[in-house]
Amino acid sequence: MALPEILGGMRVVVKNVFKRKDTIAYPEVRRRPYPRFKGRHILDRHPDGLEKCIGCELCAGVCPADAIFVVGAENSPGQRFSPGERYAQIYQINYLRCIFCGLCVEACPTEALLMTTEFELSSYSRAESILTKEQLIVDEPIRRHWPTTKELPPDVNVLAEMAKAGYQANDETNVADEHSRAAAGTGSSQSGDEAKR
């Protein structure tokens, strides 16, 4: 019979039902992903401004979800986009298909394609989920959808942080509300230096 397995599963459920929830007030407070988190792609440049991508289409060939579309073209003597003979004339990544496996990054011979830790990829239409070459080549930090006032390290214990900020376990205050106040600098026990951060 499956009775031992059912009892084991119920034991896990009951143990976690009464545990205090680890809640943060996203997006004002966000937990930074671990460094190896695979998020949004970017196309890198050389220090002289030339594109690292040479339009070899290896990333598109290795992609198991067929999410990358590349069309290579020849560099002309008068107008060079990359140091090689070819460059990527069209480069698109369809994030409706991408499974964030990272095989495209490993296949790239020039280390032109990188994966960041950015995970905000929401959009209002299917067309907005297909990023073009102009959107993937970034010359400035990636802009987030919503502003963040406080960023926590990936392995932070939120409940311990709240205890430091003066949150009492028997308070009726919501942990998320307390985080919002702490991030905005209006917490009761927060110093001026912490509020500036």
Cα–Cα dist 179/112, whole Å: 39
Query: Tell me, what's the pLDDT at 195?
Result: 39
- At position 40, the amino acid (one-letter code) is R
- CA geometry: angle at 185 spanning 182 and 188, to 5°? 65
pLDDT value at residue 79: 86
Q: Which residues contact 83 (CB under 8 A, 6 or more apart)?
A: 46, 50, 54
Q: pLDDT tens per residue, the chain (197 residues)? A: 689 999 999 999 998 888 877 777 787 888 888 888 999 999 998 888 889 999 999 999 999 999 999 999 998 888 889 988 899 999 999 999 999 999 999 999 999 999 998 888 888 999 999 999 999 987 765 666 666 777 777 777 766 766 676 655 544 444 444 444 454 454 444 444 443 44
Question: What top-level class would CATH report for the domain 41-136?
Answer: alpha beta
- Half-sphere exposure of residue 90: CA atoms within 13 angstroms, side-chain side: 8
Query: Is the previous residue joined to 47 through a cis bond, with omega within 30 degrees of 0?
Result: no
Identify the pLDDT of residue 194: 41
The answer for residues whose C-beta is within 8 angstroms of residue 171's C-beta and 6 or more apart is none
Enumerate the domain spans of the chain.
21-33+147-196, 41-136
pLDDT of the residue at 172? 46
DSSP for the chain reads: --HHHHHHHHHHHHHHHTSPP----TTTEEEPPPTT----EEE-B-TTS-BS-----HHHHH-TT--EEEEEEEPPSS--SSSSSEEEEEEEEETTT-----HHHHH-TT--EEE-S------SSSGGGEE-HHHHB-SSPPPPSS--SEEE-TT--HHHHHHHTT--TT--S-HHHHHHHHHHT--TT--HHHHH-
Euclidean distance between CA atoms 65 and 19, whole angstroms: 39
Query: Within a 13 Å sphere around the CA of 39, how many CA atoms are in the beta-carbon half?
Result: 14
- pTM, full prediction: 0.65
Q: What is the pLDDT of residues 40-90, one digit of tens each?
A: 999 998 888 889 999 999 999 999 999 999 999 998 888 889 988 899 999
